[in-house]
Structure 1
Amino acid sequence: MKGIRLRIHPVGWNIILGTLFSRMSVSMSIPFLSIYLTQVKGVSPALTGIIVSVSSLAGIVMSFYGGYLSDLFGRKIVMITSVFCWALVFVSFMFADSVLAFFVINALNGLCQSIFEPASRALLSDISKEENRLKMFNLRYTAINIGVVFGPLLGLRLGAAKTALPFLFAGFTYFLYGLSLVFSFRKFKLDENIRKENKTTIATAFNVTRKDKVFLITLLGVILSISGYAHFSTTLPQYFAAKIEDGVTIFSWLLALNAIVVLIVQYPIVNIMKKFPPIHSIILGNALISFSLLFFSLSANPFIWGSIVVFFTIGEVLIFSMVDMLVDEIAKPGFKGTYFGAAGFNRLGNVIGPWLGGILLSFFGVNGSFYMFLIIFITTASGIPVLFLAKKHLDKSGRLKVDVTESHRS
């Protein structure tokens, strides 16, 4: 760890630690939102899917602008402003008492995330040497999953499926995160050699990504892959709760298992897959997630579900450990924040997943789960041929860099 610490800017550590605690607080609340809405507020599964997915829909609308704003005004001001607004949004969940209120507040949740996250990832790239960026992105991913190990269990203990109290904790955590960023930005100067992004117009930034065929095809494949992953925190908890008694408790343990497996397999997988272009990892991850979702319909045994979660999680790691690196390598000079922002359109998968899952669950019910998961499987797996097409264009473009030595990417 000492060698790693010496190569990471103090602001980078602030972002990584802030990510750990903020994601822990979010995983105490957001994963239980669908259960809370259906079982406490009496909202239908289809409408719950819409409420849950609106966060991603709002993020999609704003994600490009969020990344662009960080290029235009700088990472610091965008991150500080959005994180404090985010804190207020989570506190607002405590006072929501209608479908409309939850809809609006969750939309604002997605809005804040779409502004803060591209700026924070772009800043991590800015303050990292090229050979260390994969490690930085994966340290952030590790922090997310450490938080998710404990968050669901804490949320369960606080009665997250029956009360909105955990949202108050999330708001307080983001407020502290914001204060820590203010302190870090004042105390630690960023590397003076960091390249400043071009001050381009929004139209120019939009055209750069719109005309980038390689990026757009890749993005479509990632969207379809993430649509499958999104079912884990939206469709599956509703399915488990309706399928068996104590389904909420089982889901909490499966969430924790998911995060533990990530921590165990992440770095071995990264060490293997860093020898190949990132898109290879994403293709394999899509296949594992697709088949895992189909297998959930074949059993009602929690232990078998746990086994399936292990394979699902490996697929998740294969995708998410490489997405940021893929975007970083594809991004054109001067538009890194814009590309990370445009990559936020992959959250369309988080809209497709809950929306499709809610409709299928309402139509088929738990008794027709095989057909429900079969349709989900087909939708997710359709991303594989798209990703192969993207790989073909990436090979021709020569925009991906692959290092097979330990000294590069480690």
Structure 2
Amino acid sequence: MSGLPRQFWWLWTSTLVNRLGGFVVTFLALYLTVDRGFSASYAGLVASLYGLGGSVASVVGGVLADRVGRRATMLVAQLGTAAVTALLGFVTHPVAIAAVAGLVGVTSNASRPALQAMLADLVPPKDRVRAFALNYWAINIGFGVSAGVAGLIAAQGYVWLFLGDALMTLLCAVVVFLKVKETLPAVEASATVDEEPAGLGQVLRDRRFMALVGLTFLLGTVGQQGATTLSVDMGRSGFTASQYGLVIGLNGLLVVLLQIPVTRMMAGRSPGALLAAGTLLMGWGFGLTAFAGSVGFYALTVTVWTLGEIVHAPASMSVVADLAPARARGRYQGMFSLAWSAASFVGPLAGGFALDHWGGNAAWGACAVVGTVAAAGYWTLLRTRGTVQSADVLVEVVEVEGPVPASGPAPASAAAVRSSR
């Protein structure tokens, strides 16, 4: 944990505060099906609209993070999230619930690219896997506590979940406002084309990066089943909200206990191997849920796919940070976040439909198949890349070696090297 900038730890604190109140998304499907009596398909639709809002916000938030600044984007998004989350607890009409859930998706996901870009701005390439792992650790400390506590709060009334979530998001915004400074690199008057902010078109033309985004989307559809299909499946099997809260809370607890030692073990491993291994564990872990019939077995399945998350999450975020030019990190992180947001639209819808029409065995079996396909894709895409060089590393190499003689070849730009991979 040593050697990281002080502002990183304030960001880490804001993330922890935010996730300590992350009640709503985790329990939304259970609230809709058990407390309100809606079908699994409707719960999947609402969760999908949340994901659709997040898909839009991921791209817009990334653009704003590069244009108006990381800090400003985070503050506006967090204040908006607090307001609409509180509102979601009081609307009752099915259409109103769906619409407000979509707004929550927009506001809550708009800050993600800005946060990830700020982390990449603050931390040098050699420490990024460690920094993203620590941030993911904070997310899961908060998630583990909130999931366990939320089941108890829900027993007193679900409205308190929405109000508590809104309050903690507001506190997160206060931490950012008081302690976090802007990190968006300034554009020098003599900046070259490669130093200017990349447009979305340039990001979309980065074929290797977009392939990474596509594979992440496939994995994301599997990962979404933990917050939607799993809760409905357990509810239909007669398990209570408190039991589901304890089972899903194990996810956060395991990350808290294992993220640091596992990250140390990951040092020096190739990105392809890490992402493939993590993806297989996630896909097969969810697939094991088809055989679950007790709280203990459900807990075992959560343990398996949580190990996959621990391996996959920091490695994937570090790869994205290394691929992105400094002033385009918001756009690259936004496009990467789009994969998860789009998955949070498709995943719950597909999971709810499969559960209603084909049963749990088909839904969980599909998770294992999709996870295997995504793992093979990661391995194929990144197997030739022992490490990922970033634009920062390339610049350092040029500075150490000194200027290229006039008679020699011109140095390749970061963008040119990146597009040739």
Deviations 1:311-348 (A, max 9, x none): 11101111112221011011134311110111112122
SS in 2 for 1:42: coil
Q: Cα distance 1:145–1:72, how it changes in 2: closer, same or farther (>3 A)?
A: same
Structure 1 residues not aligned, in runs of 5+: 404-410
Whole-Å separation in 2 of the counterparts to 1:121 and 1:397: 20
Q: Cα distance 1:65–1:190, how it changes in 2: closer, same or farther (>3 A)?
A: closer
User: What is the deviation of 1:18?
Assistant: 1.4
My pick for the range that moved more, 214-223 or 299-308, is 299-308
Q: Structure 2: which amino acid aligns with 1:215?
A: F
Does the Cα contact within 8 Å between 2:14 and 2:172 map onto a contact in 1? yes
Whole-Å separation in 1 of the counterparts to 2:307 and 2:270: 18
User: What is the deviation of 1:158?
Assistant: 1.0
TM-score normalised by structure 2 residue count: 0.85
Does the Cα contact within 8 Å between 2:222 and 2:371 map onto a contact in 1? yes
Q: Cα distance 1:59–1:279, how it changes in 2: closer, same or farther (>3 A)?
A: farther
User: What is the deviation of 1:114?
Assistant: 2.7
After TM superposition, list the pairs within 5 Å mapping 1:156-171 onto structure 2. Answer: 156-159=151-154, 163-171=158-166
Aligned partner of 2:377 among 355, 380, 386? 386
Within the alignment, does 1:24 sit opposite 2:17 as a pair?
no
Within the alignment, does 1:395 sit opposite 2:391 as a pair?
no
Does the Cα contact within 8 Å between 1:277 and 1:400 map onto a contact in 2? no
User: What is the deviation of 1:82?
Assistant: 1.4
- Give the match for residue 44 of structure 1: 39
Q: Structure 2: which amino acid aligns with 1:95?
A: F
- Give the match for residue 355 of structure 1: 349
Q: Cα distance 1:25–1:160, how it changes in 2: closer, same or farther (>3 A)?
A: farther
Whole-Å separation in 2 of the counterparts to 1:69 and 1:269: 34
Whole-Å separation in 2 of the counterparts to 1:288 and 1:66: 31
- Give the match for residue 141 of structure 1: 136
User: What is the deviation of 1:286?
Assistant: 1.2
After TM superposition, list the pairs within 5 Å mapping 1:11-410 onto structure 2. Answer: 11-26=7-22, 28-159=23-154, 163-185=158-180, 195-196=185-186, 205-243=199-237, 245-347=238-340, 348-365=342-359, 369-391=360-382, 395=385, 399=389
Does the Cα contact within 8 Å between 1:153 and 1:252 map onto a contact in 2? yes
Q: Structure 2: which amino acid aligns with 1:104?
A: A
Does the Cα contact within 8 Å between 2:16 and 2:142 map onto a contact in 1? yes
Does the Cα contact within 8 Å between 1:32 and 1:161 map onto a contact in 2? no
Whole-Å separation in 2 of the counterparts to 1:118 and 1:398: 20
CA RMSD of aligned residues (A): 2.5
Q: Cα distance 1:51–1:160, how it changes in 2: closer, same or farther (>3 A)?
A: farther
User: What is the deviation of 1:14?
Assistant: 2.1
Does the Cα contact within 8 Å between 2:69 and 2:182 map onto a contact in 1? no
Deviations 1:78-97 (A, max 9, x none): 11111111110111112111
Deviations 1:75-123 (A, max 9, x none): 1221111111111011111211122122112111111123211111111
Deviations 1:356-378 (A, max 9, x none): 1100111134xxx3233222322
Whole-Å separation in 2 of the counterparts to 1:99 and 1:340: 33
Deviations 1:139-163 (A, max 9, x none): 2111111111210121111116952
Does the Cα contact within 8 Å between 1:59 and 1:113 map onto a contact in 2? yes
Q: Cα distance 1:343–1:246, how it changes in 2: closer, same or farther (>3 A)?
A: same
User: What is the deviation of 1:353?
Assistant: 1.7
Q: Provide the aligned length of Structure 1 versus Structure 2.
A: 386
TM-score normalised by structure 1 residue count: 0.87
Q: Structure 1: which amino acid aligns with 2:5?
A: I
Whole-Å separation in 1 of the counterparts to 2:386 and 2:120: 25
Q: Structure 2: which amino acid aligns with 1:271?
A: R
- Give the match for residue 407 of structure 1: none
Does the Cα contact within 8 Å between 1:148 and 1:255 map onto a contact in 2? no
Q: Cα distance 1:64–1:197, how it changes in 2: closer, same or farther (>3 A)?
A: farther
User: What is the deviation of 1:234?
Assistant: 0.7
Pair member with larger Rg: 2
Q: Structure 2: which amino acid aligns with 1:101?
A: A
Does the Cα contact within 8 Å between 1:127 and 1:190 map onto a contact in 2? no
Q: Cα distance 1:396–1:320, how it changes in 2: closer, same or farther (>3 A)?
A: closer
Whole-Å separation in 2 of the counterparts to 1:195 and 1:204: 13
Does the Cα contact within 8 Å between 2:150 and 2:161 map onto a contact in 1? yes
User: What is the deviation of 1:180?
Assistant: 2.1
Q: Cα distance 1:309–1:197, how it changes in 2: closer, same or farther (>3 A)?
A: farther
